[in-house]
A and B are shown apart, each in its own frame.
Chain A
Amino acid sequence: MADTLPPPLGARLRLHGLPVASIVLLVLLIWYGGAWLLNAPGAIERVLRDQPWGWQDLFTATMAMERPVLPAPHQVAADFWSSLVDWPLDSPRNLLFHVAVTAESTLWGFVLGSLLGLLLAVCIVHSRTLDRALLPWIVASQSVPVLAIAPIVLVILGSLGFAGVAPKAVIAMYLCFFPVTVAMVQGLRSPLRIETEMLHTYAASRWQALWLLRLPASLPFLFPALRVGIAAGLVGAMVAELPTGAQAGLGARLLTGSYYGNTVQIWSALLMSALLGLVLTSVVAALEHLALRQRRQA
């Protein structure tokens, strides 16, 4: 099996690392150029008004504005870093505090939504009526902006006396739920006819067939849906923080940043939410790798 061995690290880096690195570099360059261009009018008006200035002065001014139109990458990085280390973990000025709040509701919603989706998929696979009557609606709901229901969920749960993490988790939950259900119905049906018939000849019950054949066979379908689900759940949790005027969470941080025109804060919150999305998805991908590793060896 020599041909399936991965190529040596150096070759892989040259093949993939170099192009990616050059694109990142290009994006950074464009970003700096954009910061210079977009901030120049403001800098001329506010910083360089009373003095003669050359283009170097203009450049340094645009790179260190108080409230830039587009903050330069190093400004964002500095703000990002200082909001990680300069404040205690429980201070609302620390980004990790907001990350914890958002991640908590995302994860609750993700776990509950995935379990609910799994349960419903099992019911749909075993009931012809549900399959014919309910599944088309769930599939159709994928084309509908379900996120728009978020304010309603917040109002309903708010007037029932739920506050804090519950409403946000519910919104993250129903965003995770739809993709998981659709994929799991597909996955639970993926075993071949010959396999289900063999279990039938063993006089296996429906539960045994589910446990021994259908669930294992559905795993390759489940994990991509989980990756979609957790990314959708993060969006849901962040959007859920907007209308409540929540004090904590990445969405709230974005909103306060936009209220006070604090652009650097918005950009570092944006960077943080991107990182959180990446981390959450890679955790799911790592789980997938672990769960499917034995299968590849077998």
Chain B
Amino acid sequence: MTTQVKSAVAMVGAALLGALLLVQLPAAQGAAPPTPLFWLATSAQALLAVQSVRSLAAFNRPRWMGTLTAALFGLWLLYFWQLLVVAFQVPRVLLPPPVMILQSMLEHWPTLWRDFTQTVLKAVVLGWVLGSALGFGVALAIDRQPFLQRGLLPLASLTSTIPLVAVAPIAVMWFGFEWPSKAAVVVLMTFFPMLVSTLAGLQASGKLERELMHSYAATYGGTLLALRLPVALPFMFGALKINASLALIGAIVAEFFGSPTSGLGFRISTEASRMNMPLVWGAIVVAAVTGSLAYTLLLRLERRFAFWHPSVREAVGT
């Protein structure tokens, strides 16, 4: 317990205590117009908050200190958002305070859950799995055809510059308003990154290693399983991670073009036009949490299956 640790703990504690005291003021609860005293207290609290984040940022280790710093920063952001929006009485349409967003989420939980199942569990997950599996399959299939590879690769790389979401109206026309049309958009969007990355990954094994496999008289399939696919894993995980956020974007945007009466994108666009902003923010929170959870999950999987790769070893710190 060094003095640095002690002063940091004291700083954070003081800042949190100050925050608790500040919200007791009538102006902070929107009961009275902001007084000069309130301004003084808010400025002092802002200074305290900055200092508390700085005192935590000074630590290099342990590793979770970085997470803690970022979390404290996020907490302060939410806190001042709440405080200032309530004190200024900003119209709810412009920016609802976080507490109201939370209330609206709790209140409309069944609706949001239905939207979540509609968009994420059906369109996103299915589309993501299908698109990625198709990309992987096609990459494997043309692995032995350099002619097809040279023809497909430039075209597939070009698709990253094309706004593929724009096929959404066509998908809605073909597959109807229900989730299959969204899944189709997601399949199209996730197919190409997976194809390109898998092809790159399959080329990534070194000449020396391939020659070693050859000297073992390994078959094509044996080399693929023992050497080339494991080497390709980090590439494929990279594509899977990109695809996770692409899939969410694709499904949500496709719902802007027409959807049944549930779904995160539908909720966002209709409630925004009805000016029910707390619920819109609630739907966005659901989408954001889904995206980060999917990313974290994939990162865990990657560390488990590609533990030998330098980038993973560096991140884990072994």
A23-B272 contact, Cβ under 8 Å, with A128-B57, A148-B284, A258-B173: no
Interface range, B side = 35 or more
Inter-subunit contact B245/A155 (CB<8 Å)? no
Inter-subunit contact A261/B269 (CB<8 Å)? no
Q: Which of B56, B149, B252 contacts A145 (CB 8 A)?
A: B252
Q: Chain A residues with Cβ under 8 A from B252's Cβ?
A: 145, 147-148
Inter-subunit contact A156/B95 (CB<8 Å)? yes
* Residues 92-111 of chain A, each 1 if its beta carbon lies under 8 Å from chain B, else 0: 00000000000000000000
* Residues 7-51 of chain B, each 1 if its beta carbon lies under 8 Å from chain A, else 0: 000000000000000000000000000000000000000000010
Determine the main DSSP class of A at the interface with B: helix
Cα of A15 to Cα of B294 in the assembled complex, Å = 40
Name the CB-closest residue of B to A258: B169
* Residues 253-267 of chain A, each 1 if its beta carbon lies under 8 Å from chain B, else 0: 011011001010011
Q: What's the least CB distance linking B297 to chain A, in Å?
A: 11
Inter-subunit contact A24/B272 (CB<8 Å)? no
Name the CB-closest residue of A to B163: A235
- Which of A19, A133, A261 has most B Cβ within 10 Å? A133
Interface residues of B in 260-318 (CB under 8 A from A): 264-265, 268-269, 272-273, 275, 277, 280-281, 283-284, 287-288, 291-292, 294-295
Inter-subunit contact B163/A242 (CB<8 Å)? no
Q: What's the least CB distance linking A145 to chain B, in Å?
A: 4
* Residues 168-197 of chain B, each 1 if its beta carbon lies under 8 Å from chain A, else 0: 111011100000000000000000000000
Cα of A23 to Cα of B280 in the assembled complex, Å = 44
Q: Chain B residues with Cβ under 8 A from A15's Cβ?
A: 150
Interface-facing stretch out of B127-135, B152-160, B212-220 = B152-160
Q: Chain A residues with Cβ under 8 A from B174's Cβ?
A: 69
Q: Chain B residues with Cβ under 8 A from A247's Cβ?
A: none
Interface-facing stretch out of A57-65, A188-196, A202-210, A271-279 = A271-279
Cα of A149 to Cα of B282 in the assembled complex, Å = 11
Inter-subunit contact A132/B56 (CB<8 Å)? yes
Q: Which of B150, B158, B173, B277 contacts A278 (CB 8 A)?
A: B158
A136-B272 contact, Cβ under 8 Å, with A129-B54, A143-B294, A159-B93: no
Interface residues of A in 35-84 (CB under 8 A from B): 69
Q: What's the least CB distance linking B60 to chain A, in Å?
A: 10
Interface range, A side = 35 or more
Inter-subunit contact B245/A231 (CB<8 Å)? no
Q: Chain A residues with Cβ under 8 A from B238's Cβ?
A: none
Inter-subunit contact B275/A242 (CB<8 Å)? no
Q: Chain B residues with Cβ under 8 A from A220's Cβ?
A: none
Inter-subunit contact A132/B69 (CB<8 Å)? yes
Inter-subunit contact B245/A254 (CB<8 Å)? no
Q: Chain B residues with Cβ under 8 A from A251's Cβ?
A: 166
Task: Flag whether B67 is at the interface (Cβ < 8 A).
Answer: yes
Task: Flag whether B228 is at the interface (Cβ < 8 A).
Answer: no
Q: What's the least CB distance linking B299 to chain A, in Å?
A: 9
Determine the main DSSP class of B at the interface with A: helix
Task: Flag whether B257 is at the interface (Cβ < 8 A).
Answer: yes
Q: Chain B residues with Cβ under 8 A from A128's Cβ?
A: 57-58
Q: Chain B residues with Cβ under 8 A from A154's Cβ?
A: 272
Interface residues of B in 216-258 (CB under 8 A from A): 241, 244-245, 248-249, 252-253, 256-258
Q: What's the least CB distance linking A176 to chain B, in Å?
A: 14
Task: Flag whether A134 is at the interface (Cβ < 8 A).
Answer: yes
Q: Chain A residues with Cβ under 8 A from B241's Cβ?
A: 143
Task: Flag whether B74 is at the interface (Cβ < 8 A).
Answer: yes
Name the CB-closest residue of B to A67: B173
Inter-subunit contact A144/B287 (CB<8 Å)? yes
Inter-subunit contact B154/A20 (CB<8 Å)? yes
Q: Chain B residues with Cβ under 8 A from A20's Cβ?
A: 150-151, 154-155
Inter-subunit contact A19/B172 (CB<8 Å)? no
Cα of A242 to Cα of B272 in the assembled complex, Å = 13
Cα of A19 to Cα of B156 in the assembled complex, Å = 13
- Which of A19, A242, A250 has most B Cβ within 10 Å? A19
Q: Chain A residues with Cβ under 8 A from B56's Cβ?
A: 132
* Residues 68-94 of chain B, each 1 if its beta carbon lies under 8 Å from chain A, else 0: 011011100000000000000001011
Inter-subunit contact B163/A277 (CB<8 Å)? yes
Task: Flag whether B3 is at the interface (Cβ < 8 A).
Answer: no
Cα of A281 to Cα of B158 in the assembled complex, Å = 10
Cα of A140 to Cα of B296 in the assembled complex, Å = 10
A148-B268 contact, Cβ under 8 Å, with A19-B151, A129-B57, A136-B70: yes
Q: Which of B67, B91, B169, B294 contacts A254 (CB 8 A)?
A: B169
Name the CB-closest residue of A to B256: A242
Cα of A140 to Cα of B73 in the assembled complex, Å = 14
* Residues 226-240 of chain A, each 1 if its beta carbon lies under 8 Å from chain B, else 0: 010001001100110
Q: What's the least CB distance linking B251 to chain A, in Å?
A: 9
Task: Flag whether A199 is at the interface (Cβ < 8 A).
Answer: no
Inter-subunit contact B257/A255 (CB<8 Å)? yes
Q: Which 10 A-B pairs have the closest CB atoms?
A: A19-B151, A258-B169, A133-B73, A143-B295, A23-B151, A151-B272, A132-B57, A136-B70, A281-B161, A19-B150
Can you sample 5 A-B contacts with CB below 8 Å? A145-B287, A148-B252, A231-B160, A231-B161, A278-B162
